[in-house]
Structure 1
Amino acid sequence: WKNLRLRNWRPLPVDVRDIGAVLLTHAHLDHSGYLPRLVRDGFAGPIHATPGTIALAEILLPDSGHLQEKDAELANRAGFSRHHPALPLYTAADARRVIPHFVGHEFERPFAPAPGARARFRRAGHILGAAMIALEIAGRRLLFTGDVGRPADPLMPPPAPPEETDILVIESTYGDRLHGDADPQAILAEHILRTIHAGGTVIAPAFAVGRAQLLLYYLHRLKAEGAIPTDLPVYLDSPMAIDASHLFCSFRKEHRLSERECRAVCAVATYLRDWEASAALDADPRPKIIISAAGMATGGRVLHHLKAYLPDHRSLVLFTGFQAGGTRGRKLLDGAREIKIHGHMIPVRARIAALDMLSAHADRGELLRWCRAFPRPPGRCFVVHGEPAAADALRHALEHELGWPDVQVPLYGEVAELGGR
């Protein structure tokens, strides 16, 4: 897993100055987070995205750069990094230089990202602004899914139905599993009540965009229905998530909530922007819920809360999304007895749980149902964005259950010739 992280520091296999344009599916940092390096290294072209994605990226990228600077500063001060000095992958200033490159396009409005190429953004669901990219180049049609949302997501609309295409590039995050049909609201209430009755605190590492807003939505409903105490403190401790939540209410046409519902959902939590207020939470003995980034516990303010509450057997760390291999989140879910944070080994005595059904990614069944709606099978399909077992499971299902003729899981660095008609 360390080798995967190190790839971020290596130069791209092509000259950055030869890249004419970028088409961005959505603002999550595993999709947008390399843009500041790209621009810093000499990329000078446009970055095409939907207005929702641009608005979110303008929040996420500078905040990400700021957090990386903070983490590097802490590592250098405490001396727990192997690198001397520890450096951020990019800075907030690097991230701000990306913003002038953005060019916005509404869903389903064709545009020309390069001579001879035609593109459209299609709704992917997933999060605000998320898009699939439909491309036509040299007589060939290609659909790049980005992250595929869920058909019955309580906040986001379903993914657009597929159109006939020659080449499909599809994600496979949950290509080997189902989310199940359990009621997430009921399970969330059960976890909360068990924890607060024991006198503990619920720490919910959450992605600042999408998952934080979904948690606020369910907490609002639980309080409105009297399923959890109405006076139970809820804190949203992530400036990035706070800004994203406000933005959510500005893009009313992109989600299912009314203006009144948006206001009510956003009002369920106390918002914490400064570090002092965040640190004070860990000295507060009262039961409470803290929603904080990052969602996989790879960095951010949630690490300070984990240091405070992981040793507490009364408390709960509740993961609400996918935990990639090699992350602290995955290690905790896999049963780690101690975890390294800021150079110190922290004992794990708190309960660890996950709400997989809250995922904003389509599961195996939902991906296959979406793929069955193609008018005819794509001539070629590349399965990406999944751990090896998940990607291969989806490949096998597309070949053997749907009968698709050519499905591949490309290797890192592999080059595919797509050709023309």
Structure 2
Amino acid sequence: MLTLKSLGAARTVTGSKHLLTFGGHRILVDCGLFQGLKHLRELNWAPLPTSPRDIDAVVLTHGHLDHCGYLPRLVRDGFRGKIYATEASRDVAELILKDSAFLQEKDAEFLNRHGLTRHKPALPLYGIDDALRAMDHFAAVAFDKTVSLPGGATLRFRHAGHILGAAHADIRWGGRSLMFSGDIGRYGDPLFPDPVSGGAPDYIMVESTYGDRVHPDGDPAMALGAIAERTMARGGTLVIPAFAVGRAQQLLYHFWTLKQAGRLGSVPIFLDSPMAIDATDMMCRHTPDHRLSPAVCRAAFSIARYTNDVEASKAITASTFPKIVIAASGMMTGGRVLHHLKTFGPNPRNTILLSGFQAPGTRGSLLQQGAKALKIHGALTPINAEVVQLDMLSAHADSNGLMRWLSGFSRAPRRVFIVHGEPEASMALKARIDGELGWRSVIPEPAEEFVL
């Protein structure tokens, strides 16, 4: 009997973990951290319903933290199997997991040093050594190649767009075929290939991040250029909180096309994120996984001044000249962007550009909702800068893109499982699937078990 249970990303947009069980074997599809609201983050500390020792393999669709961030804890708690991922996803995951472990160790050290914890001592969820041990479990799988998994299952990765290395996971097990979407990218993206659908899976699990909205039409580079020029005309600084993997490279590419078109003049552009710098170098090492030629890759990503050390980052903050600053993290949960927000947020000449999805409970979500102050490093910072949301930069397919992907399959599946979305987004996508396709769909409850 094949069963499916979502241990994360059920009725929420974070913490993806989907457990398949058959004949005493268990395969976990994705193994992400919960992010955002406190009650979600606290779930990271709860033991899994299934012992990590009893999980035979992990299939990783891509390397974002909400899909891979729990892997070091899984290994620490006894997981001994392999983690199957594309080669580029393995490299992205290594970058993100090391950064996550470093930040958790630093946060715990800060809390202990200042006595700001009821735990004696505060401990990180996992550390650098745990992240390194997790990397030892990775097994790279090429796109469109079928490989065997424990217990008689097979796996084939198909291009998902979204970010470097991202894949849909086509799993066949126990006489059933299942398609796990992971995160679905956008059709016509200038950097990444279109998401691939097709075939006739028995079951489909689909993300629903933007299941309730449609991205605006238009050229994102032109919109980005207009925002930058408006800010520069005021003598201001454009601060862009950006995900280090995917969004930062997309922004650099668009700014390069603007410069090629003779726009933006000599305004300096800074990439102030060591992880984003490493991810940008990684793009040029994995050219088969994206649309850019090696020459364009090198040219586009040389548009920015790379800021590796803290002193150089401080110099950006201290500068009063107009400029563009791209810094992590994308939802403003931490990182160097917080220092830029403290300096540039209070001044109405400046602009803060929200360039993608903002999970509930994050500073990005608060700004999206019109907050006029943000708590940063324990104190309130007034936000008088212009705040702009540019959804057309999103790396996720919108409602129409999700429906296009689903419509690419050759027949109706037995059921569609709708995950990785806030309740309103998931319900809106369900209404479209039921009404337009006439397929059976369900929005799983956390840990709800389905017999397939």
Alignment TM-score, normalising by the size of structure 1: 0.96
Distance 1:333 1:226 in 2: 31
The answer to whether structure 1 residue 414 and structure 2 residue 448 are counterparts is: yes
Structure 1 contact 33–61 (Cα < 8 Å) conserved: yes
Per-residue displacement from partner, 1:371-399 (whole Å, max 9, x unpaired)? Answer: 11211111111000001100111011100
Distance 1:362 1:108 in 2: 22
Per-residue displacement from partner, 1:93-150 (whole Å, max 9, x unpaired)? Answer: 2211111100011011111111221111111111111011111111100000000111
SS of the counterpart of 2:45? coil
The number of residues matched between the two structures is 416
Distance 1:121 1:316 in 2: 40
Structure 1 contact 9–89 (Cα < 8 Å) conserved: yes
Amino acid at match of 2:209: T
Q: Alpha-carbon deviation of 1:226?
A: 1.4
Structure 2 contact 60–85 (Cα < 8 Å) conserved: yes
Match of residue 310 from structure 2? 275
Distance 2:444 2:190 in 1: 33
Match of residue 190 from structure 2? 154
Alpha-carbon spacing, 1:290–1:72, altered in 2? closer, same or farther (3 Å): farther
Q: Alpha-carbon deviation of 1:76?
A: 4.4
The answer to whether structure 1 residue 28 and structure 2 residue 47 are counterparts is: no
Structure 1 residues 20-419: aligned runs within 5 Å: 20-77=56-113, 85-229=121-265, 231-404=266-439, 406-418=440-452
Structure 2 contact 196–405 (Cα < 8 Å) conserved: no
Structure 1 contact 80–343 (Cα < 8 Å) conserved: no
Distance 1:76 1:295 in 2: 27
Structure 1 contact 107–123 (Cα < 8 Å) conserved: yes
Alpha-carbon spacing, 1:277–1:256, altered in 2? closer, same or farther (3 Å): same
Distance 1:76 1:286 in 2: 38
Q: Alpha-carbon deviation of 1:162?
A: 2.3
Structure 1 residues without counterparts, runs of 5 or longer: none
SS of the counterpart of 1:11? coil
Q: Alpha-carbon deviation of 1:369?
A: 1.5
The answer to whether structure 1 residue 9 and structure 2 residue 37 are counterparts is: no
Per-residue displacement from partner, 1:272-310 (whole Å, max 9, x unpaired)? Answer: 111221122111111111111111111111112112211
Alpha-carbon spacing, 1:115–1:55, altered in 2? closer, same or farther (3 Å): same
SS of the counterpart of 1:401? helix
Distance 2:309 2:45 in 1: 30
Distance 1:81 1:225 in 2: 53
Match of residue 29 from structure 2? none
Distance 1:53 1:302 in 2: 25
Distance 1:357 1:80 in 2: 40
Q: Alpha-carbon deviation of 1:409?
A: 0.4
SS of the counterpart of 1:290? strand
Alpha-carbon spacing, 1:216–1:78, altered in 2? closer, same or farther (3 Å): farther
Amino acid at match of 2:255: L
Distance 1:77 1:193 in 2: 44
Q: Alpha-carbon deviation of 1:47?
A: 0.4
Alpha-carbon spacing, 1:276–1:80, altered in 2? closer, same or farther (3 Å): farther
Runs of 4+ with deviation above 6 angstroms:
none
SS of the counterpart of 2:184? coil
Amino acid at match of 1:276: E
Q: Alpha-carbon deviation of 1:170?
A: 0.3
Distance 1:122 1:278 in 2: 39
Q: Alpha-carbon deviation of 1:12?
A: 0.8
**Is 302-311 or 18-27 further displaced after alignment?**
302-311
Structure 2 contact 61–166 (Cα < 8 Å) conserved: yes
Alpha-carbon spacing, 1:162–1:152, altered in 2? closer, same or farther (3 Å): same
Match of residue 25 from structure 2? none
Amino acid at match of 1:412: P
SS of the counterpart of 1:247? helix
Per-residue displacement from partner, 1:351-376 (whole Å, max 9, x unpaired)? Answer: 11111011111110111112112111
Structure 1 contact 237–278 (Cα < 8 Å) conserved: yes
SS of the counterpart of 1:47? strand
Distance 1:267 1:69 in 2: 32
Structure 2 residues without counterparts, runs of 5 or longer: 1-36
Distance 2:377 2:197 in 1: 45
Amino acid at match of 1:143: M
Alpha-carbon spacing, 1:409–1:256, altered in 2? closer, same or farther (3 Å): same
**Is 67-76 or 155-164 further displaced after alignment?**
67-76
Alpha-carbon spacing, 1:219–1:81, altered in 2? closer, same or farther (3 Å): farther
Q: CA RMSD in A?
A: 1.4
Of all paired residues, the percent bearing the same amino acid is 52
